[in-house]
Structures are given as C-alpha cells and as structure tokens.
Amino acid sequence: MTISTVDTDTRTHSESEPSTSHADTTASRTPEVFERYESEVRGYCRSFPAVFQRARGASLWDENGRRYIDFFAGAGALNYGHNDPRLKEALLDYLAADGVVHSLDFFTVAKQRFLETFQDVVLKPRGMGYKMQFPGPTGTNAVEAAIKLARKVTGRSKVMSFTNGFHGMTLGSLALTGSEASRKGAGVSLQDAVRMPFDGYLEGGDTIDFIATMLEDASSGVDLPAAAIVETIQAEGGVNVARFEWLRRLAEVLARHDVLLIVDDIQVGCGRTGPFFSFEEAGIEPDIVCLSKSLSGFGLPLALVLLRPELDVWKPGEHNGTFRGHNPAFVTATVALDFWRDDALSRRVAASAEKVEASFGRLAEQARDAGVQATSRGRGMIRGLELTSDLAASISAAAFERGLILETAGAEDQVLKFLAPLTIDEGELTEGLEILEHSAEAVLAAAPESADA
C-alpha cells in the first residue's frame, strides 16, 4: 500500500478532458473537511490526494475535471472497471422496481438468480461441486468463516499461513497475516497461527520439503493444523507468485495429513490471472475457497465461501451477519458472470498481460541500467516491479502527478503493483504504461544516489 506525499508536478501527457493548473489541484487535494473530521487511519488518500467525482471504465476524474488512468482498480475490486454500463443498468432497474435491498439470509429472487448462475457458469463447467456460503460483505468475513469452519470440522485450532501473506484486518485473519505493520495494530496477542515459508522465501531451499518435514516430525513442535490458507499470488505481500508445481505439492502434503486447503482468491480471483479462479491452471481443487472484491463486479461489497459439501457441518445460524444478504450486489454479480460464458475475457487478459509484462521488463532494465537491483514478476493482469529503495514510492508519486494511479506493495512498499481493470482498452493501457515508464525515467534520472541503494 502506497502512503507517500506528492509535492512536484511532472505531468507531460495530454488529457482527454480539461485540466487545471497544478496550484489549483494542489489546493483542493486535502480539503479541511477530511483533515478535521476523518480519522487519521485513512491511507490511500494520502498517496493519491485528489477529490474524485466520477469514474468510467479505467478512468477517474477529480472535482476539477482532471482525468486519471486507474492501474489500481479498487485494490482488485473493479476487475470489470468503473460503472460498467450493463451492470449499472441492471442495478438501477432493480432499485427502480423497489427490489429488496436488505434481507439477512432470507430467500430472495436476486440471491436465487446469483446462486443458479454461479453454479451454471462457473462451477458446473469446471466439475466443481462446492456449496456456497455468504459470510458477510467483505473478504475478511470470508476468511474468518473459512477458518472457523475448518476448526469445527477437524477439531484442531491451529491454521497454517505463509510468510508475506495478507488475509484481512479482523483478528482471526490478522493472525494469519505476515505484515508487521498490520499485526501491530491488533493490540492483543494474535494466536493459533502457524507460519510457514512461501514459495521462494528460503533462498536456495525447497519450502515444501521444509513444510512436509515440520508436519511429519513429531518433535518439530508444530501442532497439526486444521487448515492451511494460501494466496496463489501474494498481492499485498509484494506480488509473490507461487509456482504451479509448488501449489500442487502443497496440496499433496496437506492431503496426506488431513489438513484442509483454503485458497484465499479474494484479490487475484474473478479472472485476475486469466481463468476465473487463480488456482485453475495449477490443477488443484481446494477444500475451501474465499472470494470477494470483484465478485460483485461493481465495487459493491459481497463475499462468498465455497466449500466441499461434506464440510458443511454448520448448525443453522451458527455463523451469521446482518449484511450477508446484499441483494444489489447479487444483481450486479449475476450480470458480471456474463463475462464468463465464453473465453473472450480470458483471452483479452492474456493479450493485455503480454503488453504489461513487456513494459515492466523495460522498467526493470531501466532501473538496472541506473544501478538499481530490480525484478519484474506476476501472472495475468497483476504484475509487480521490486526495487531496493524508496524508488517505488517516488515513481508512484511521479506517476500520479502525470495522471496515473498505481500503488505499491510489499513489506517495505518496495514493489510497484499493477492492478488495472481486466477490461481496460488497449489505448488506455498503452497510455498508462507510457506514463509509468516516463515517470520511472524521470525519478531514476533525478536520483543518481540510488545507484548505491
């Protein structure tokens, strides 16, 4: 997550809508109302200090009419872009007809249509027989429900998670999260988690062999966990990509020990890597899957837990929540599934990903030419550029001044993270990548001392 200040104007690109002077935009960036009344906990707005007014596709406009290309997409909640016309029309029609908005877990037409469509479009074509649980409106609600269920099913309390992982900010999810900064905010001891090394964490070492040894050795001191929760790509952790072979071997080790496999697909599911689920190409089928973010397709809160039927041992009402029946989100989510009735979007993701990968390759080479160690990595429409200094934040800030929103990630915010809408058109994608490359060039040229970083 980027948290930086912006104090220079390095815009060079032409904009499709009228802009204002730098002085005018700076004056409106932190209106007194936000400083006076909103908590100091606010984060993203510190890095992108504009007051946004409208959005469409992969673009946002601030209150002064200045356009920004969005390579952030609501931290992965807007895979289909801002205000997709088909989703918006369905939502407005539903509300205009006095459709039920709040319903707890009552049966509603909106929920029925989503359940049927998700089964028909996503699960059945993949041979998946999951049952579907609506745990609450956010990703961390899905994680909390998943680990609570795993503990109930197995009778064990520990849950395995991985270095640099991120699973949410409520206490159960936070216990599984690696980030020191996030964990410190808990204020209490975070318990019942077993941390293991993610793929590539141990330089020159096989982390699966290590995990297998720790589970098999009765003297390792590691209690057999109820489940292991893993992200196939650690987005917040720095765009760390697990190899398919690693994921397959992890699933095999867990199965040998009757440990449930939970895939947290909250940020990189719903097509981010190409297929609907990020784990499909690895050939694994988790016991439990957590989805949220782009599930509603429209930026509306909606979360879903997929679970094997034999794991559905909940008693009625044993896990509940006031907002687990968010019907407007069911409406837009159902229409969003039309993107998955054929492979057109997956092919589009693959084509765009090639362009992004090439651009980030040039960025890495550009940094190395300036004496900075740099690595590009990712899969599909998530990509990161890891740098070894504060250059990532500086480049993000310079890009914002040019009209591009791009956050940072990783333990020290050392990774520039690309997360544009999957539906971004080729022209906007090219324009945004050019802004990014020009921003990196300007920052690297102005920071010769980075060669010593």
pLDDT one-digit tens code per residue, 210-267: 999 999 999 999 999 999 999 999 999 999 999 999 999 999 999 999 999 999 999 9
Q: Looking up tokens 């429209």, which residue turns up?
A: 298
Distance CA 280, CA 126 (A): 9
CA distance 192 to 430: 46
Q: Which residue has the tokens 């209690």?
A: 223
pLDDT of res. 3: 52
396 by Cβ neighbours in 10 Å (0-12 / 13-18 / 19+) ranks as buried
**pLDDT category of residue 203 using cuts at 50, 70 and 90:** confident
SS3 content of the chain, % helix, strand, coil (to 5): 40, 15, 45
Mean predicted lDDT score pLDDT of the chain: 92
Name the token pair of 204.
Answer: 């020159």
Average pLDDT value for residue range 114-127: 98
The residue to which tokens 């058109």 are assigned: 425
Distances (CA, A) of 380 to 213, 271, 288, 346, 387: 33, 9, 23, 9, 21
Q: What is the pLDDT of residue 31?
A: 79
Instruction: For 362-400, write each residue's pLDDT tens digit.
Output: 999 999 999 999 999 999 999 999 997 699 999 999 999
- pLDDT, position 181: 86
Residue 318 has pLDDT above 70, yes or no: yes
pTM of the model: 0.92
Q: Evaluate whether 162 touches 211 at the Cβ level (below 8 Å).
A: no
The answer for 241, left when phi > 0, alpha when psi is -120 to 50, beta otherwise, is: beta
pLDDT in tens, 31-84: 789 999 999 999 999 999 999 999 999 999 999 999 999 999 999 999 999 999
Residues making up the chain, counted from first to last: 453
Phi–psi pair at 233, nearest 5 degrees: -135, 120
Q: Calculate ∠ Cα 154-160-165, nearest 5°.
A: 140
Please name the helix (run of DSSP H) or strand (run of DSSP E) that holds residue 368, with its range, or none.
helix 344-369
Q: What is the pLDDT, as a whole number, of residue 449? A: 55
Torsion on CA atoms 78, 79, 83, 88, rounded to nearest 10 = -110
d(CA 294, CA 303): 9
- Beta bridge partners, 230, equal 263
**Number of CB atoms found within 10 A of residue 37's CB:** 7
pLDDT score of 266 = 98
Judged against a pLDDT cut of 50, whether residue 119 lies above it is answered with yes
- The DSSP string of 121-153 is IIIGGGT---EEE---SSHHHHHHHHHHHHHHH
Output the pLDDT for position 333: 98
Q: What are the beta bridge partners of residue 131?
A: 307
| 416-450 per-position pLDDT tens digit | 999 999 999 999 999 999 999 999 999 999 876 54
Reported as type and span, the H/E element at residue 230 is strand 227-230
| Residue-level pLDDT at 20 | 36
Domains delineated in the chain:
51-83 (no CATH), 85-340 (3.40.640.10)
**Alpha carbon distance 394, 20 (integer Å):** 23
What Rg, from alpha-carbon coordinates, does the chain have? 22
Confidence grade of residue 29 (pLDDT, cut at 50, 70, 90): low
CB atoms inside a 10 Å sphere around CB 24: 11
Structure token pair of residue 115: 């359940």
3-state DSSP assignment of residue 68: strand
Structure tokens at 313: 């041992």
